[in-house]
């Protein structure tokens, strides 16, 4: 079974401020395959994130040569948004946790690993009383 993501500029950011000639063209699209990766491993998740980021750079024209500062900012914002959306579209807990930089918020239970934002200090849902690495941790009784 082939596993892949389709990346395209689906936001207004990529086209709103673009030059009129660019605004009339179809959005770029790249396919990112990952059937060869084990997404439950840190190395596999990191490899997929790198592939997504590379495809987002191509789609958004981040390295399209000499450009003015405003267009460079637009391209970079497009890349960041496209990468974010694509990583979250995988809906894979290990990929999301690695992308957010918190590999230890992965819980291995039941049907496989899942990401628990309550254990991720970078998450707005973080709960220090549940995190064994926190000085505020309250052990279960």
- The dihedral of CA 85, 99, 56, 4: what is its sign? negative
CA atoms within 13 A on the CB side of 65: 0
Contact at 8 Å (CB) between 94 and 46? no
Place of tokens 């990401």: 115
Both structure tokens of 126? 């973080």
Looking at every residue in the chain, the average pLDDT score rounds to 75
Mean pLDDT computed over 79-101: 86
What pLDDT is recorded for position 51?
Answer: 93
HEC secondary structure over 53-102: HHHHHHHHCCCCCCCCHHHHHHHHHHHHHHHHHHHHHHCCHHHHHHHHCC
What pLDDT is recorded for position 62?
Answer: 66
Nearest to 56 by CA among 74, 75, 72: 75
pTM above 0.75, yes or no: no
Question: 1 falls in which pLDDT band (50, 70, 90)?
Answer: very low
The CA distance from 11 to 8, in Å, is 9
Mean pLDDT computed over 70-92: 87
Task: Answer yes or no: is pLDDT of 119 > 90.
Answer: no
What pLDDT is recorded for position 22?
Answer: 47
Both structure tokens of 8? 């395209």
What length is written for the chain? 141
What pLDDT is recorded for position 48?
Answer: 93
Convert the pLDDT of each residue in 19-58 to its tens digit. Answer: 444 444 556 788 888 889 888 877 888 899 999 999 888 8
């Amino acid at each position: 079974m082939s596993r892949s993501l389709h990346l395209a500029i689906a936001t207004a950011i990529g086209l709103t401020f673009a030059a009129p000639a660019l605004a009339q063209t179809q959005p770029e699209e790249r396919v990112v395959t990952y059937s060869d990766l084990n997404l439950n491993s840190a190395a596999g998740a990191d490899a997929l994130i790198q592939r997504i980021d590379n495809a987002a750079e191509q789609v958004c024209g981040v390295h399209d040569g000499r450009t003015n500062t405003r267009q460079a900012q637009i391209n970079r914002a497009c890349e960041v948004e496209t990468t974010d959306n694509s990583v979250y579209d995988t809906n894979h807990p290990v990929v999301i946790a690695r992308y957010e930089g918190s590999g230890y918020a992965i819980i291995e239970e039941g049907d496989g690993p899942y990401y628990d934002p309550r254990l991720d200090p970078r998450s707005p849902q973080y709960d220090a009383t549940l995190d064994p690495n926190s000085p505020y941790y309250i052990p279960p009784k």
